[in-house]
Structure 1
Amino acid sequence: MFEYFEKNYAWNLTGITLIEEVGVMSQPAEAFALAAPHQDAAPEVASIAWHDAMVELGARIEGFAEADAAAGNRLTASRKFNRAAMFFIRAERITSHEDPRQMIAYKRALANYRKARENADDGVEFVSIPYENAVIPALLIKAPDIAGEPAPIVIHIQGFDSIKETQWPMFQEYRRRGLSILITDQPGAGEALRVHKLHARWDTEVYVKVIVDWIMARKDIATEAIGLQGISMGGYFAPRAAAFEKRIRAVACWGALFEMPALWARRLEGGDVAGTHPSVANPLKHAFWSFGLDNVEELKEFISHMTLAGVVEELECPLLVTHGENDRQVPLSHAEETIKRATMPDKTLKVFTKSEGGAEHCQIDNRAIAADYVSDWFAKRLRV
């Protein structure tokens, strides 16, 4: 994996995705150079430096996008609005949710992202799925009907710290294979957490059932061929949901997570996770926020439920687990144990190697190679 920063894994993680998302190296490199002197500073100092560098570039590109939009250059404006959105998203990712600058950057990201989609006219529908007293926000991208019937659809759910806006247009590979995709910010993630105050839950089948009900109620997408995929911590969320929501016809873990208690044991005692690297500046604070908890004891109780032991055995649909051989956040053993315990005949473990690319956490070093593999797998199981 390309690692610009010698001393900050979280910055490298978000930095490499930013390069992919904006499609050029020069602008991210300019922001990296501004932030680099502070990479090993105290977290609160480092996060401010990162935030300011990202916002500076985002604001500049936003201005160029507005000028193109005013001149009627809609496609050019779309690309620039999208790049601006990615800089604002990467600014808010490293910034603490307790810092008001995080929400300011996030709202600018949403505004620019929406303008990008509207100017591109690329078939992205912004949808809101009623849930409890709020909504689950999502992006719906429909594939053409097949023989007069709606195409199969894959539901995507986030992990610990991912958000939906970073995943389109990457997920266009699904539509190219005749699959619609619904990219959600489920409770505990993205807009559901930041705007609607919906916190994560370990019994993920509760909100997945609501999402499936919503799909079946829309005649333009209603289909019995429904897939479910989860990325990163979604490697627990997705198979957990599919084990109990039997309308899911195929499930994929884009990065495995077999059990949380063992993975987080040292972190909960004030240390780091053995053999792993934190993906955000302060994982404990992020967990309290995402899960809606106040202290370590509550967190221990919450994650005690987050194991696939006795759960993955209940899965009946086909299962795919992908993992990187050099994943520094979740050991490969989580993928191996998930597959070992699964009892259905159609189960696949794909380990991405350093030689082929995609060897890091959730193939962050080459997300395109994973998008190809996972969408191919779903197409073979849902388009039958």
Structure 2
Amino acid sequence: MKQLLFPNNPQFWYETLRSMSHIAYGGADFGEVVATGERIVEGDYESWYAEWTATADRVADEAQKALEAGHEVSARDGFLRASNYYRSAEFFLHGHPCDPRHDHAYDRSVACFRAAAALFTPRIEPVSIPYEGTTLPGYLYRADTGGTPRPTLIMQAGFDGTAEELHFSGAMAAVERGYTVLTFDGPGQPGPRHHQGLVFRPDWENVIRPVIDFAETLPEVDNSRIALLGSSMGGILAPRAAAFEHRLAALIAVDGVYDLGQISVRNIPGDRADAERLLRADSAPELDAALERIMITDATARWAINHGMYVMGVDTPRAFNASYLDYSLADGIAERIQCPTLVCDAAEDEFFKGQPEQLYEHLTCPRTLMVFTAEEGAGAHCHPGAMRLALARIYDWLDDTLANTPASLGA
């Protein structure tokens, strides 16, 4: 898709398109996004933060006034948009060290979302999921107030998405189709990273297991028809979990990822083994210098490395790249997935090109590869700009898959 704003900075444009995609489920208005983007100095993180915060503050203030005047629908809609705009505001603040303003913007995003959640019918309920002596934050969506067990979708984001953002990128679409939905942030993701210091871990089955345990205690959940959807980096985390956690009735990777280590080693001379040794070495000054140069010249790499150090809990660009080596479905892991699996693929994916096909090829379970194209407006990573189209196809697949799975007794 042509870059309508920020012609020389693909990362700024992608994040703008990402906000535009949330229009479909109430997370933005086109004019607000464009007006904000036009005020931002291209490539300037300070300008990005200031302008998105200004828009978020204005929209949140208007929503609060609507609430105080008794206009609950207007308040709900405004709080939703403000939540998304605050999320966007803090997007480029992460790194090592992390900009202290990111906590303010993140907390405002969560507060606005929870204000909106309380105004839905049924109410979207914030939940705390027990996890290794602490809890993971999330939200429970009910299709109605009857308490009937329903097919259930557990949703998670990936490298940088939030549980709140999942509202716009699939949770409400699933509720419209009659699903119970449980969204959450795992370690390394925004809630646990901001407030508990939890960083990513590759053995994601140990994250999903307690989430499923929690889901199975809820009366609205049909325990025999629980599906898991992972977005972006969740496209490798969710499959990793499904390889070892076999209570899942279906798996969706939006989009599929097979091996993050391929990202780390692709610009390092030599074979994979040599590159891995260099990344994990005690000292590699030439590689360190090369990574610093890449961050100067490549806007996407600059953001990814800064954010990656934050979410992986490491201090250097090389240590971040080394951490990616641990995230792989090779060596027979993908082959252990048993449930029907949908692998989504964006034809013009700027982050993980070719990896959905690799994941699909290694699956031995019932499998489907679903390709989204630029001609459909859906060719970018995770299909921003074509959210209704993408979710219709994804959830039609899920409807058909779970229709062939027997419901729990009493469901």
What is the aligned partner in structure 2 of residue 87 from structure 1? 85
Question: In the TM superposition, what is the alpha-carbon distance from 1:11 to its structure 2 partner?
Answer: 1.4
Equivalent residue, structure 2, for 1:165:
164
User: Residue 279 of structure 1: CA displacement?
Assistant: 5.3
Letter in 2 for 1:288: M
Q: Is 2:43 aligned against 1:27? A: no
Cα deviation 1:228-281 (Å, max 9, x = unaligned): 1111111110111001001111111101211111112238744599xxx86585
Is 127-136 or 259-268 further displaced after alignment? 259-268
CA contact (8 A) 2:255 2:343 kept: yes
1:293 corresponds in structure 2 to: 314
SS in 2 for 1:129: strand
Letter in 1 for 2:203: D
Contact 1:152–1:383 (CA under 8 A) maintained in structure 2:
no
Q: Percent identity?
A: 26
After superposition, the Cα gap between the structure-2 partners of 1:65 and 1:145, relative to the gap in structure 1 and judged at 3 Å, is closer
SS in 1 for 2:56: helix
TM-superposition CA deviations, 1:134-158 (whole Å, max 9, x none): 2111111123599x85101111121
Aligned AA (2:204)? T
Change (3 A) 1:234 1:55: same
**Cα separation, 1, equivalents of 2:345 and 2:20:** 22
8 Å contact kept, 1:235–1:257: yes
Cα distance in 2 for residues equivalent to 1:278 and 1:130? 38
State the partner residue of 1:48. 46
State the SS of the aligned residue for 2:224.
coil
2:325 to 297, 304, 308: 304
Which residue number in structure 1 is paired with residue 276 of structure 2? none
**Counterpart amino acid of 1:364?**
P
Q: Is the 8 A contact 1:74 1:120 kept in 2?
A: no
What is the CA distance between 1:17 and its match in structure 2?
2.2
In structure 1, how many angstroms separate the alpha carbons of the residues matched to 2:315 and 2:358? 31
* Contact map agreement 1:143 1:180 (CA 8 A) in 2: yes
Cross-structure match for 2:181: 181
Q: CA deviation at 1:305?
A: 2.3
Match of 1:77 in 2: 75
**Residues 46-80 of structure 1: CA distance to partner in whole angstroms, max 9, x if unpaired?**
11110000111111112211111111111111111
Higher mean displacement: 192-201 or 72-81: 192-201
1:39 equivalent in structure 2: 42
One-letter code of the match for 2:350?
R
Match of 2:283 in 1: none
Q: Map 1:1-384 to 2 at 5 A.
A: 1=1, 3=3, 4-21=5-22, 22-35=27-40, 38-40=41-43, 46-96=44-94, 98-144=98-144, 149-171=148-170, 172-221=172-221, 223-265=223-265, 266=267, 269=287, 270-271=290-291, 281-296=302-317, 298-309=319-330, 310-331=332-353, 333-344=354-365, 346-384=366-404
Task: Tell me: CA distance 1:169–1:251, structure 2 relative to 1, closer, same or farther (3 Å).
Answer: same
After superposition, the CA RMSD in angstroms is: 2.2
Return the TM-score normalized by structure 1.
0.90
Q: What amino acid maps onto 1:25 in structure 2?
A: F
Residue type of the partner of 2:400? K
- Verify the 8 A CA contact 2:264 2:322 in the aligned structure 1: no
Alignment partners' CA distance in 2, 1:219 and 1:316: 26
What is the letter of the counterpart of residue 383 of structure 2? Q
Task: Mark the CA change 1:288 to 1:217 in structure 2 (over 3 Å): closer, same or farther.
Answer: same
Alpha-carbon displacement from aligned partner over 1:279-308 (angstroms, at most 9, x marks no partner): 585222321221222345644553222111
Q: Does the CA contact (< 8 Å) of 1:58 and 1:87 recur in 2? A: yes
2: CA distance, partners of 1:145 / 1:376? 24
Distance verdict in 2 for CA 1:186–1:280, change over 3 Å: farther
Q: How far off its partner does 1:218 sit?
A: 2.6
Unmatched runs of 5 consecutive residues or more in structure 2: 269-278, 280-286, 405-411
Name the aligned partner's letter for residue 103 of structure 1. D
Q: CA deviation at 1:15?
A: 0.9
* Shift in CA distance, 149/63, structure 1 to aligned 2, threshold 3 Å: closer
SS at match of 1:282: helix
Structure 1 residues 279 and 318: CA distance shift in structure 2, 3 A: farther
Provide the secondary structure at the position in 2 that maps to 1:52: helix
**Alpha-carbon contact 1:170-1:368 (below 8 Å) kept:** no
Cα pair 2:118 2:125 within 8 Å, conserved: no
Query: How far, CA to CA, are the matches of 1:301 and 1:7 in structure 2?
Result: 29
Aligned with 2:374: secondary structure? coil
Superposition deviation, residue 191 in structure 1: 1.0
Amino acid in the other structure paired with 2:261: P
Cα deviations by residue, 1:170-223 (Å, 9 ceiling, x for unpaired): 422212222211111111112121122221110100010111111122334251
Contact 1:228 1:251 survives alignment (8 Å): yes
Q: Contact (CA 8 Å) 2:20, 2:384: kept in 1 or not? A: no
What is the TM-score when the length of structure 2 is the normalising length?
A: 0.84
Partner SS, residue 327 of structure 1: coil
Tell whether the 8 Å contact from 1:144 to 1:150 is kept in structure 2 after alignment.
no
Is the contact between residue 2 and residue 365 of structure 1 (CA under 8 Å) also seen in structure 2? no
Aligned counterparts of 2:321 and 2:55: Cα–Cα separation in 1:
39
2: distance between equivalents of 1:62 and 1:144?
28
Q: 1:84 to 1:324 in 2, by over 3 A?
A: same
Q: Secondary structure at the match of 1:248?
A: coil
Q: Deviations over 1:111-148 (max 9, x none)?
A: 111111223345311111011232111111123599x8
What is the aligned residue count?
371
